[in-house]
Structure 1
């Protein structure tokens, strides 16, 4: 049956199916509901530990010492607010970015959101459209469907009336109509379409590294925590309230309470920031992938140039201009799903009020693999339109090459002596005309390419267009170098193929399979590859790239497989995308170093104090205040700051390389002071208080210098951050009211000087460790830089 004669369901039938629940209902686009977000941010392991310790402190009656309990509220509120903001952003953007199938109802075609498709709906599809539900073909016109996302087989499958199609596939060529036979959870691959717009929390190197660190910390906390609790309660003549406070003061800083929170918050803020630029992040780890990109493979059409083209001229090769215009008009009229080139031709041809379509005997749709399309008309011959260098050679191809070298796009119109749908088509081609199209450069393309060069991110332009035309466009945008015709490339398994792909920057006449092979070749050479595209020919490479970036106006298939969708089609958004990824990953690594330094020195202090059976020198309020200004507030600010450094593998190793020596240096300075000023025998209350004050001075001086090291390279606000921290602590020890609240005693200069000297030595050790690590590191870190 002709698609034009299909009427589909009536409004009453649609309403009946909706009331029966036969709707394509899919999970929430952003994964978790509001209730799940609240629950997962409130009922965490860290909050549970802090809540128990807070309750114990409250029992003692010293309520001010329970100030660390504010962390429970802060952790929960900040996490909930940020994730709800990210959810709202994703939900709003996903409505724009998701596939909008065209259904036939009451004989009228209308675009609906995927969730509104009902059982037995008739859905019309064309090239690039995604199959959103399982169905059965009821009408087709040379329809070919790629089901590689389901079967792994990349060759398109020809579909005839009665054949089944499955959600997750997409149309490569031709057009058709299918009836929805399974919707929602019943569909074979419903989760594929659901996940195309979901805020996922799948594993990544960063998350795996943090989880690995937290597992190690967890194993340390159990024995050390038990030891310190036993040591505090076994002190002679100790009041149980004091024992609880000192045990709590030892346990609270061991918990890296802000690390997971700031990690999730940084990711959520990244989603929100990119959302403001009409950039839809469909998978959360894509933020991490942005930071690791070393090569961007960009398609030309739709990325560097606009998808819209204009008809420049039609050059009749035998001097007759009327015949080419007539044939082109018939080809346009016979194409049920015209691509950008056909749309440009249709707009450029003069209007003909007496136009009568020729009867069509056969059609061959355009594909990027064969690079031509054709129609066989009854009584009017067989015609093809496609790449001149593919369909013919000699003077005609050379003339087309001259136009291509100036950046124009050229198609050849020719006649053939066989049906275009035959296995041996097109056969010999008799050229009739060259069709010259203008390609419009995106105004921001040159600036974007320059940004990537400055950031040491290599850009490779891989296009299916004529190599000369691609080279002309890229040269005008500042991309220099040899232009490679992909038809001359050796097999993908050869060393020469990999060398050529690695060395060259611009490729023309690339098939979809070759794009995929190029991505794989670059990945085999330890590159993190981002692929941008908008058409069906880009889907295979987008799927295999480390990061797939689709244009919002591109096909539903490309949007469905990409991790990031540029909804406004602005190639200039990519620098912001990459910068956001670098900001998130680089800053998380910084704050991880701070939190783990605190955990390590807290564990080391507790271990030594417990073994020596000494009272813990600190009370909860002291460690809370220290945590706020050496860890909490600086970590929060640094997690939001810009960061242009490309992410590197080895997150755990680099983090521990700073946190372990830094934490041990802090612990050594504090323990040296404590043991030198107090000794290991029983001490009277005044000496205990003075010794604890000196120990706190040594700990603050050294741990704040760890902050100073982690804050490098310096810019003005990071220097101010460290200066404010030192200034705050100076006032804390000099102001009488703060000394009273925090139980500090600086009345004995000899004791206090020991803490100052030990702290200075600790600072020197931290500094020396940083320089030693910098010397052996493969990436030299800087002390400062003029801008950020």
Structure 2
């Protein structure tokens, strides 16, 4: 490929940019984080349940029973609500994605422009300054800088880059300013090649999605044969008219369809997306909320989680008594304010000693990772130097090594403050020969104020934490211990782990892992998952990408690399690990409430399916009409389930989703089925007219469903009491004032004589089945 000449004063022209774009030499289009509005609307409208409801509605319409088409209106409302919630969540995600999207500073036609990273073309000239992330591989064309490649390699030591040196995408500028020519774009970038192994399709490990799909498949397969056989029985055996057979069959099939379950799941998860946005969390995959609720192990890095990514000066230890500590502090302030370095160490010293004495500087030597020190020669005050003791004093620093080793064991870094009355030598770049040590500065990573509280939260929730870092294991362990991490003394240097078996054993034994490579991070996550753990991984660098992709729930820091944000399911926009307790709590709220509310829909679907099969063998007509199911579904299932699904709930998750909802559904399902069958058995002798039998069945079913709702609302609070009473009153009012519409007749003496014993019987059966399931069968399952 022909390369364009570098011009660091003008950059590419508009025509050259257009040519490069046409040639495809562009960083690449940004991926859409969300579905379009059209896709959301189509997904909610074109569903198997909506198609089935439309067919059933057409059948009822064809026989002129228009009021029994009300279930179509409910389906339409469900679709509208589902679209509204998902579009709302989409807008929230898009807005947050726009805020968090990175920009590049490029020189074009002699002017600096802020553009999207995806619009960078080959040979663009990038303007890079302290704090910028390098978004494409490039070569320094002018200036110099120091680069932190920890997001690529995991090592945090800065590297000096001069003209002609290569800058790797995914790294950060620590200090200095330069202009660099882009040499790779898109998939050719170094970071893209590393993350390429993470670009595979990993199936969403969602138990809820699998469970709901299984329920839908089973009921879906049963619908057609049950419907056909029931219609044949109604027409031929029960001698019903065509219209009656259609209405009865449609009633049975409408009850079997759990369309509200799918809608409820979408609404609960979409609502969580919006709620999490209030905690500065961007959810990029809906079902990751479920995985958050199930997480029992979190793998995290030291930086950005336990620490702030900044340094602090813990103390100064004087080595001489000819200067006071105040004078030494003034010297540190004079050096750091004169040099104005922006690296974390210089910022920490300026924060510790904020009063600039205003000394006149004669010459300066800025810090570089090659010399490991920086200094200033002041008029009337001599030369002060700050840096690594062995690089300043050479062999003379040996007497202070013991102090440095003790500090390192505590997770501290040691800098030497030295002084000379002479200026710098060798053109102002070499140390004076009579340089003398005057004080030691002890620095450490600044631990987040919220770290102890956050770590304690996860300990209380029985969530295991694994600290995985590219830094020294001893240093990381000491920092973790200061932050309050349990078992921080269980650490291992990952360079000693060579096989998968050793890593498998290590994850069971150790809490802190140091000197970990990107591949080892992936192996650690795999080992934890192999042990049956649900693993969340937090990260910010390209070196975290493989592990993030493999984890059950991946969480990236917005301040980290683009690659980490792209593959992660959740992005913390404030890059603050303290948000995690809120996020995990939101996941638990959603899934716990969803389990509780899902059981209501499952009861209706199971009851309708079993009853439909039973009435294939019973000579009587099916006792329900579609409009009656619509009334009961709305008051005893639909509205209550949505209200209950959105309330606070921080209980820990227990058991499996499918078992939990089946456990809750079976007692109610069996009670309703046996209650209706008992009613049919009694009516075999009493011979109530069909309209009265149907009304009695609706009343009996309503009582049983409200009894189930009563249990689901437990423990009761003011809102639950209001919900339960309102639904019961609404049913009574609908019965009294809208009985004709719902094909209900007034209660008479024979009906009451039948209903009262059956109501008592249904209470007894419900308690019996509840005891049987909870105390006997589920105990064996567990």
Counterpart secondary structure, 2:310: strand
Q: Quick check: 724-733 or 294-303, which moved more?
A: 724-733
Task: Choose the corresponding residue for 2:604, options 593, 598, 601.
Answer: 598
- Asked if 2 retains the 8 angstrom alpha-carbon contact of 1:709 and 1:770, the reply is no
Listed as ranges, the matches of 1:104-123 within 5 Å are 104-106=107-109, 111-118=114-121, 120-123=123-126
**Structure-2 change in CA distance of 1:482 and 1:599 (3 Å):** closer
- Asked if 1 retains the 8 angstrom alpha-carbon contact of 2:557 and 2:573, the reply is yes
Task: Choose the corresponding residue for 2:49, options 42, 46, 49.
Answer: 46
Offset of 1:73 from its aligned partner? 1.7
Q: Does 1:215 align with 2:221?
A: no
- Asked if 2 retains the 8 angstrom alpha-carbon contact of 1:334 and 1:375, the reply is no
- Asked if 2 retains the 8 angstrom alpha-carbon contact of 1:590 and 1:710, the reply is yes
What residue number does 2:690 align with?
688
Offset of 1:571 from its aligned partner? 3.0
Listed as ranges, the matches of 1:217-616 within 5 Å are 217-234=219-236, 238-311=240-313, 339-341=343-345, 343-344=347-348, 354=361, 396=400, 398-400=402-404, 403=407, 409-411=412-414, 434-437=440-443, 439-461=445-467, 478-479=484-485, 481=487, 483-487=489-493, 491=497, 501-502=507-508, 507=512, 509-512=514-517, 518-534=524-540, 541-616=547-622
- Asked if 2 retains the 8 angstrom alpha-carbon contact of 1:57 and 1:66, the reply is yes
- Asked if 1 retains the 8 angstrom alpha-carbon contact of 2:152 and 2:543, the reply is no
What residue number does 2:768 align with?
768
Q: Quick check: 700-709 or 570-579, which moved more?
A: 700-709
- Larger Cα-atom Rg: 2
Provide the TM-score with structure 1 as the length reference: 0.76
- Asked if 1 retains the 8 angstrom alpha-carbon contact of 2:147 and 2:161, the reply is yes
Offset of 1:509 from its aligned partner? 4.7
Q: Distance in 1 between matches of 2:765 and 2:203?
A: 39
Offset of 1:57 from its aligned partner? 2.7
Q: Does 1:91 align with 2:97?
A: no
What residue number does 1:425 align with?
none
Offset of 1:111 from its aligned partner? 4.5
Q: Distance in 1 between matches of 2:390 and 2:455?
A: 27
Q: Distance in 2 between matches of 1:495 and 1:700?
A: 59
Q: Distance in 1 between matches of 2:331 and 2:180?
A: 30
CA displacement, residues 193-234 of structure 1 (integer Å, 9 cap, x when unaligned)? 9x99xxx99462221221111111111111111122223333
Offset of 1:49 from its aligned partner? 1.4
Q: Distance in 1 between matches of 2:68 and 2:640?
A: 22
Offset of 1:137 from its aligned partner? 5.2
Counterpart secondary structure, 2:740: helix
CA displacement, residues 332-385 of structure 1 (integer Å, 9 cap, x when unaligned)? 99999x75335545777978875767699x966xxxxxxxx95999xxxxx985
CA displacement, residues 453-512 of structure 1 (integer Å, 9 cap, x when unaligned)? 33333445555667777666656655455524533996375988767755665x375545
Offset of 1:638 from its aligned partner? 1.8
Q: Does 1:179 align with 2:170?
A: no
- Asked if 2 retains the 8 angstrom alpha-carbon contact of 1:7 and 1:106, the reply is yes
- Asked if 1 retains the 8 angstrom alpha-carbon contact of 2:365 and 2:374, the reply is no
Q: Distance in 1 between matches of 2:5 and 2:364?
A: 16
- Asked if 2 retains the 8 angstrom alpha-carbon contact of 1:552 and 1:568, the reply is yes
Offset of 1:641 from its aligned partner? 1.8
**Structure-2 change in CA distance of 1:449 and 1:762 (3 Å):** same
Structure 1 gaps, min length 5: 150-157, 365-372, 378-382, 416-429, 782-788
What residue number does 1:636 align with?
642
**Structure-2 change in CA distance of 1:304 and 1:186 (3 Å):** closer
Q: Distance in 2 between matches of 1:779 and 1:355?
A: 82
What residue number does 2:378 align with?
none
Q: Does 1:740 align with 2:740?
A: yes
Counterpart secondary structure, 1:642: coil
What residue number does 2:752 align with?
752
- Asked if 1 retains the 8 angstrom alpha-carbon contact of 2:132 and 2:173, the reply is no
- Asked if 1 retains the 8 angstrom alpha-carbon contact of 2:671 and 2:769, the reply is no
- Asked if 1 retains the 8 angstrom alpha-carbon contact of 2:248 and 2:621, the reply is yes
Q: Distance in 2 between matches of 1:110 and 1:315?
A: 48
- Asked if 2 retains the 8 angstrom alpha-carbon contact of 1:119 and 1:181, the reply is yes
**Structure-2 change in CA distance of 1:464 and 1:747 (3 Å):** closer
Q: Distance in 2 between matches of 1:28 and 1:594?
A: 39
Listed as ranges, the matches of 1:113-192 within 5 Å are 113-118=116-121, 120-123=123-126, 170-171=170-171, 177=180, 179=182
- Asked if 2 retains the 8 angstrom alpha-carbon contact of 1:698 and 1:756, the reply is no
What residue number does 1:698 align with?
700
Task: Choose the corresponding residue for 1:671, options 670, 677, 680.
Answer: 677
Q: Distance in 2 between matches of 1:779 and 1:334?
A: 70
Offset of 1:302 from its aligned partner? 2.6
- Asked if 2 retains the 8 angstrom alpha-carbon contact of 1:82 and 1:265, the reply is yes
Q: Quick check: 229-238 or 21-30, which moved more?
A: 21-30
Q: Distance in 2 between matches of 1:65 and 1:488?
A: 68
- Asked if 2 retains the 8 angstrom alpha-carbon contact of 1:316 and 1:324, the reply is no
Q: Distance in 2 between matches of 1:435 and 1:299?
A: 26
Offset of 1:618 from its aligned partner? 1.4
- Asked if 1 retains the 8 angstrom alpha-carbon contact of 2:522 and 2:547, the reply is yes
- Asked if 1 retains the 8 angstrom alpha-carbon contact of 2:148 and 2:172, the reply is yes
What residue number does 1:10 align with?
13
Offset of 1:330 from its aligned partner? 11
CA displacement, residues 239-289 of structure 1 (integer Å, 9 cap, x when unaligned)? 433333222222211111111111111111111111122111122222112
Counterpart secondary structure, 1:78: helix
Q: Distance in 2 between matches of 1:691 and 1:549?
A: 57
**Structure-2 change in CA distance of 1:355 and 1:230 (3 Å):** farther
Offset of 1:646 from its aligned partner? 3.3
Give the superposed CA RMSD. Answer: 5.3
What residue number does 2:633 align with?
627
CA displacement, residues 159-181 of structure 1 (integer Å, 9 cap, x when unaligned)? 99999999xx7348999945266
Q: Distance in 1 between matches of 2:711 and 2:37?
A: 39
- Asked if 2 retains the 8 angstrom alpha-carbon contact of 1:485 and 1:509, the reply is yes
Q: Distance in 2 between matches of 1:310 and 1:143?
A: 21
CA displacement, residues 41-85 of structure 1 (integer Å, 9 cap, x when unaligned)? 122221111122223333444433222111222122111111111
Q: Distance in 1 between matches of 2:223 and 2:551?
A: 41
- Asked if 2 retains the 8 angstrom alpha-carbon contact of 1:298 and 1:531, the reply is yes
Q: Distance in 1 between matches of 2:247 and 2:372?
A: 84
Q: Quick check: 460-469 or 703-712, which moved more?
A: 460-469
- Asked if 2 retains the 8 angstrom alpha-carbon contact of 1:299 and 1:461, the reply is yes
- Asked if 2 retains the 8 angstrom alpha-carbon contact of 1:375 and 1:384, the reply is yes
Listed as ranges, the matches of 1:19-58 within 5 Å are 26=29, 29-58=32-61
**Structure-2 change in CA distance of 1:402 and 1:164 (3 Å):** closer
Counterpart secondary structure, 1:234: helix
